[in-house]
Structures are given as structure tokens and as C-alpha cells.
Chain A
Amino acid sequence: MLKIKDLAVNVGAKEILKGLNLNVNAGEIHAIMGPNGAGKSTLSHVLSGKSGYDVTGGSITYNEKDLLEMPAEIRAREGVFLAFQYPVEIAGVTNVYLLKAALNAIRKHKGLSEVDAMDFLTLVKSKTKALDMDEKFLYRAVNEGFSGGEKKRNEILQMAMLEPQLCILDETDSGLDIDALRIVADGVNALRSENRAFIMVTHYQRLLDYIKPDFVHVLADGKIIKSGGAELALELEEKGYGWLEQA
């Protein structure tokens, strides 16, 4: 589904990614771990099409298409979803309005008709319930006055509604208490399917206790320096990153 080859990315004059390789197949969950400043967030942003990043080399192929050629909204409509580390607030725009606008933009891209209002409402209510969210959240302005945990849950709600193929979770566990983490993890697990892949960017093993990855990669100094199975995360938890970077 996703093939990242020799990806090199600068921010300004600074090299952040220096030849990163990663293959992700449908149905897989990949965890990207690594020390601060290794380029984890840069990877999430470059995949989702945020501006301000200068791709100096390499390629990203997504479903046999050149991902880097697509503007951010086309990537989203093609099924790339980024769950933000810091979800933004939008005053006066209700959650339900955003969800419907987004869903319809994606449906239109796929050549489908706009979602029927009643069907939409039924759908959104069931997803909200599954995430243990109060329906009132739907009618509040996007993330306005939400707690950290509520914002992250809201990201997962959007993910559940938009049914992306490639989900990128950027430090989704940061700022979550253990109960919120469990709810978010349950939400993600419920979305696991053989057609969908996940890339989870995280600092800590903690999230991986709840969402079991198929692969764990260590990103350091702009490259993936080690890959392994779920057990690699445990090893990292125990030893830190130092032993890998020195190797």
C-alpha cells in the first residue's frame, strides 16, 4: 500500500530525514519509535502533505500512485488520515458539520452521492457511542474547550467516520490518562481490518500495550536504524535508544 524509498526531507536548510525506507502493507500496524528530534513528526507531516517540508530526494508511492504529487486534500480523499498530535480548534464550526463536509468531500472524490442526512445522523451517533463520547460533542465547535483526552477521542471519531485506508497516529498517546488511552486504543483496534494499515508514531511502549503492532521501527537521525516485531518495543523500553544509535 505504501512504499517509502530513500526519503530525504529538509526543513529550511536542516536535513531531517536522510534516506528513510519503509514498506507498509494493508492490514499491518507499524509503530515508529525513536528519540526526540529523530524526524518522527516530520514523517507524519510529509506523508499527510503539510507544507513547509522540502522533499530533496526519494519517493513515496501510495496505492501505486505518487503520493508527493498530491495536495493534502487529495491525499485525504484517497484515504490517508492523520490523527493530529495537537488537534486545532475551529470556533463556530460544529463537529457534526465538519464530519459531514469531510465525509461528503471524500464521497464525491470516489464518485458517490452525498450522504443522506438521516443515514449520516444514524452513523455518526453509533460511532460516537462506540467511542464512549457524549452526543453533545457533535454539536459543539470543533475541539473548542475540549480537554486533551476529548480532543484525541475526537480525532479517532473522525477516523472512524471517514474510514481511511492509511491511518497515521502522531503521538496519539501524548497527554492521555490511562482511561482515555484505553478508550482511544479500543477505538483504533475496532478499526483494524485487512484493508487498512496503521502507522503509529510514539515515544513510549505504553500505547503498544493496548495496540499491538506487527512491526516496530526505530527512527533515529533521519533513518530507520532497526526494525523488528512487537518485542523490539519492549527491548527499547528496557534499554532506551542509546545502544542502537551507537551500533
Chain B
Amino acid sequence: MSANNDEINNLLNQDYKQGFVTDIQADTFPVGLNEEVIAKLSKVKNEPEFMLEYRLKAFRHWQTMPSPDWAQLNIDPIDYQEISYYSAPKSKENAPKSLDDIDPEILDAYKKLGIPLAEQEQLAGIAVDAVFDSVSVATTFKHKLQEVGVIFCPISEAIREYPELIKQYLSSVVPVGDNFFAALNSAVFTDGSFVYIPKGVRCPMELSTYFRINASNTGQFERTLIIADEGSYVSYLEGCSAPQRDENQLHAAVVELVTLKEARIKYSTVQNWYPGDKEGKGGIYNFVTKRADCRGDNSKVSWTQVETGSAITWKYPSCVLTGDNSVGEFYSVAVTNNLQQADTGTKMIHIGKNTKSTIISKGISAGKAQNTYRGLVKVLKSAENARNYTQCDSLLVGDKCGAHTFPYVEVKQPTAQIEHEATTSKISEDQLFFCQQRGLSPEDAVSMIVNGFCKQVFKELPMEFAVEAQALLGLSLEGSVG
């Protein structure tokens, strides 16, 4: 484990290392949003007619909605007419046919991020879909996955190739008008990943999507849809980063998961969007709607997230436990430093009988950051013997930061059992001194204490991600001691 510590140490001395800009030719729409822009977007994407209708419906609905202000966040008003809604790397033809057609600059950008797209380098056995600004630039291992019937492709491709699946499942978990950002996303989403795991198939490798915002003044609106058919299983990883820019950038994603009978999805996120500088200049606004519908009996969804980036995070990965005996889990580490703000948590909606949910949330604040846990556990009348366990811990580093907890519980079924535990603690001077007295530097001491605090969540992450998450923690808490 001490090798990890060394790694953290090295990382501690770096700035946001994913902050580079890739110099490529891009087709970017002028800023602004109206029905024409949406029509143009749909056309560029070569979408069937039903998608344009879907988008316009969402857009019209969005125009009637106010921007939400209930979160514990200070957000400067966003001018949605100042954002470009489409930016794609220019390629020789319409779309890259293979890795050879991809701009070497982009391949290089992903290489810098430690994500080799070239399949021969894929020793880790993880299939990757790489989304660069508004389009998916590469999906690896596609053919190998097809052999077992797994569909893993950009969602824009799925819209063209598998319209029936799209019609059946898109917005079946997050309705178009669900919330302000979901409506906006439905109107303008440009790409993202689509996954379909057929009946009884255990996906032979981890699937992963890596999102990167490169262009300036561009919003990234990605859409992910994962369908696990009866008795299937998939583990899906999501990573994100962006260049360091002075202005804020908008990221408004929607992720929908559907599990049918006895299916399981494990969804892990390491979110490391650019958080802005120490004065709070720049950074990504991360407004994400993630929801899973455990539609079938005995199905299960686990969300695991490590949130270290973004200037503002507004995100509540949720589970709708529709099927009897279905299980929802949420494991979260959210770190905020400097002037970062996070309002994150989960919703567990118990509908089916004997449904079970677990929430483990670890919030860490340092600098002047504000970290809020907001959770809802709702047990409907139909959910006999529903059970929930919530544990919500906050750790403060220094005395200028804040931690807030808003747990909501609504129970309409008397047989439900709900447990809630919450703690707030501080890294004390005594703990720091103790570790130093044993030879550890203050940075190593903080990272050790914080890692200890997050252990319950890290053990839920796939191996490679756990290492990355630990390293990121050290990085994002840089300079928070003393």
C-alpha cells in the first residue's frame, strides 16, 4: 500500500494534470439555442425523424421551466445563449471508421489521460468509448463484444442502428420533463454511450466511457443508456476531465439504467472535471441526472462515485426499486477543496416488495469548500418489508469549509425499516501530529486519514479505479493542510 502513498505524494505536487488543451480542427456550432439549432444538430447526427420530434418536445418543455435553485449552491446565472451546443473534431469524412481515421492529436490527448485507445494496448481488458466534446471518437473492442451479443456503441449510432431499443428505453427512466437539466439534455444531447446486455449474458469485460470537454464555450451534454436484460450483468466505468480554462463550462448529462429480471448493473464513476483555480475562477458546472430503474424482480443496481472535480456538482444518482426484492446501492465519496461546491446524494424509491437499499456517503471538505449530502428515501405503500440503511459521514479539513446533510425520509408502508446514521468529524491537529511523529509528512498523513475515512466506498470500486481514486484524493486535497 505504501507504493500508493508514494504515488499520492508525487501527485500532491502537481496541479490539475488533465488541464491541457488539444489543438485540433473542430466543427463547432455558433453559440445560441433555438429550434433551428436543434434541427441542425439532429441533421448533423443523421437522426431518424422521431428523434427530432423528441428533441423539440424536450426543448419546448425546457423553455417553460425555471432553473432550479433549491440546492445548497451559489451559481452565477448561466446564459444558455452563450454556449455552443455542438463541437466535433473535424475528420476527413463523416465519421472515423477505425482508429486510423482519428486525428492523432485526439489519440494523443487520450494517451496523456492514460487511456490508450489502440486495441493492442488494451491489456487491461476494458472496452472504452471515448467521447471528445460532442462526439464519440472511438469505441474499442466493439466486435469482440458483439460476439456475445453485447451492444456497446456511441448513442448516436444506436439511434440509427437500434431505433426500436431507443424508442422503448430512452427517457423511460428519466422523463423528458423530469427536471430543468434533464429537459435541456434531452433537447441537445450530442453523444454518449449505449449499452445493451442480452439475456443471461455476463459482460466479459468492464465497459468504460471517457468523457472529455476540449473546445471552449462548449457545453457537453452526454446521454448514456444501459439496458441489462434478464439475468445479465455488466460493470461500467465512467471517467471525465477537461482542460483548464478561465470561464465556466457546462456539463449536463443524463444517465439511464434499466435492469430487467435478475439483472445487475454496477456503475462506477470517477469524476475529475476541472474544478476551477484557487480563487474559484473557471471550472465545470456539473449538473447530472443519473437514475436507475430496477424494473425486474431480484435485480440490482450499484452506483459508486468518487467526485473530486467540477466547480459545482449537482448530482443525485438514484434507484427506482420497482421489481420485488430489487436492491439499490449508493456509495459515494465527494471531495471539495478551495471554492468548490457539491450538492450530491441519492434517491431510493421503494416500490416493490422486500426491496432493499444501502446508502454510504462520505463527504470531505477542505479550503473554503461547501459539501452537501442530500438524500431521499421514499417507501411507497406497495413496498412491504422495504429496508434502507443510510450512513452519511462528513470530514472537515481546516476550519473554513462546511458540510451539510439533508436526509429526507418518506415512508408510507408501516413494515418498512429505515436506519440513518450520520457523523461529522474533523482531521484533528492531534491526529496530524501523531502521524508526523511516526514519520509521515502532513500531506501523507491527510491522505492516509482521508483514505481511511473513504475505505467503505473505495472497496466497492473496481481495482484500477480504486487506485486512481486514491491518487485523485491526494491531488484534490493538495495544499489543504496548514
Interface residues of A (CB under 8 A from B): 48-51, 71-73, 75-77, 81-82, 84, 86-88, 90-93, 97-98, 100-102, 104-106, 109, 114, 141, 158, 162
Seed contacts A81-B437, A90-B449; 16 additional CB < 8 Å A-B pairs? A73-B437, A76-B437, A82-B437, A88-B430, A90-B435, A91-B425, A93-B452, A97-B1, A97-B448, A101-B448, A102-B439, A102-B440, A105-B439, A114-B3, A158-B438, A162-B439
For B431, give the chain A residue with the smallest CB separation. Answer: A88
Q: Does B424 contact A (CB under 8 A)?
A: no
Task: For residue A120, give the distance in angstroms from its CB to the closest CB of chain B.
Answer: 10
Q: Are B434 and A73 in contact (CB under 8 A)?
A: no
Q: How many A-B residue pairs have CB under 8 A?
A: 84
Q: Are A162 and B438 in contact (CB under 8 A)?
A: yes
Given contact pairs A88-B431, A101-B1, A93 touches B439 in the complex (Cβ within 8 A):
no
Given contact pairs A92-B454, A97-B1, A101-B1, A73 touches B436 in the complex (Cβ within 8 A):
yes
Task: For residue A152, give the distance in angstroms from its CB to the closest CB of chain B.
Answer: 14
Q: Are B436 and A102 in contact (CB under 8 A)?
A: no
Given contact pairs A90-B431, A104-B2, A73 touches B452 in the complex (Cβ within 8 A):
no
Q: Does B407 contact A (CB under 8 A)?
A: no
Given contact pairs A77-B439, A162-B439, A141 touches B444 in the complex (Cβ within 8 A):
no
In Å, the complex CA distance between A105 and B436 comes to 10
Q: For residue A51, which residues in chain B have a CB less than 8 angstroms away from its CB?
A: 429, 433
Q: Does B442 contact A (CB under 8 A)?
A: yes
Task: For residue A185, give the distance in angstroms from its CB to the closest CB of chain B.
Answer: 22
Q: For residue A93, which residues in chain B have a CB less than 8 angstroms away from its CB?
A: 448-449, 451-452
Interface residues of B (CB under 8 A from A): 1-3, 5, 425, 428-431, 433-442, 444, 448-449, 451-456
Could you show 19 A-B contacts with beta carbons less than 8 Å apart? A49-B437, A72-B433, A72-B436, A73-B439, A76-B437, A84-B434, A84-B437, A87-B434, A88-B430, A90-B435, A90-B449, A92-B454, A93-B449, A98-B448, A101-B438, A102-B440, A104-B2, A105-B440, A105-B441
In Å, the complex CA distance between A100 and B452 comes to 15
For B1, give the chain A residue with the smallest CB separation. Answer: A97
Task: For residue B4, give the distance in angstroms from its CB to the closest CB of chain A.
Answer: 10
In Å, the complex CA distance between A114 and B434 comes to 21
Q: For residue A91, which residues in chain B have a CB less than 8 angstroms away from its CB?
A: 425, 452-453
Task: For residue A118, give the distance in angstroms from its CB to the closest CB of chain B.
Answer: 14
Q: Are B438 and A92 in contact (CB under 8 A)?
A: no
In Å, the complex CA distance between A141 and B449 comes to 11
Q: Are B438 and A49 in contact (CB under 8 A)?
A: no
Task: For residue B110, give the distance in angstroms from its CB to the closest CB of chain A.
Answer: 32
Q: For residue A158, which residues in chain B have a CB less than 8 angstroms away from its CB?
A: 438
Q: Are B440 and A48 in contact (CB under 8 A)?
A: no
Q: For residue B5, which residues in chain A have a CB less than 8 angstroms away from its CB?
A: 101, 104
In Å, the complex CA distance between A106 and B449 comes to 19
Q: For residue B3, which residues in chain A have a CB less than 8 angstroms away from its CB?
A: 114
For B456, give the chain A residue with the smallest CB separation. Answer: A92
Q: Are B436 and A71 in contact (CB under 8 A)?
A: yes
In Å, the complex CA distance between A93 and B438 comes to 14
Q: Are A73 and B454 in contact (CB under 8 A)?
A: no
For B395, give the chain A residue with the smallest CB separation. Answer: A91
Q: Are B441 and A73 in contact (CB under 8 A)?
A: yes
Given contact pairs A88-B428, A90-B431, A101 touches B436 in the complex (Cβ within 8 A):
no
Q: For residue A98, which residues in chain B have a CB less than 8 angstroms away from its CB?
A: 435, 438, 448
Residue from B431, B439, B442, B452 in contact with A76 in the complex, judged by beta carbons closer than 8 Å: B439
In Å, the complex CA distance between A162 and B439 comes to 9
Q: Are B2 and A92 in contact (CB under 8 A)?
A: no
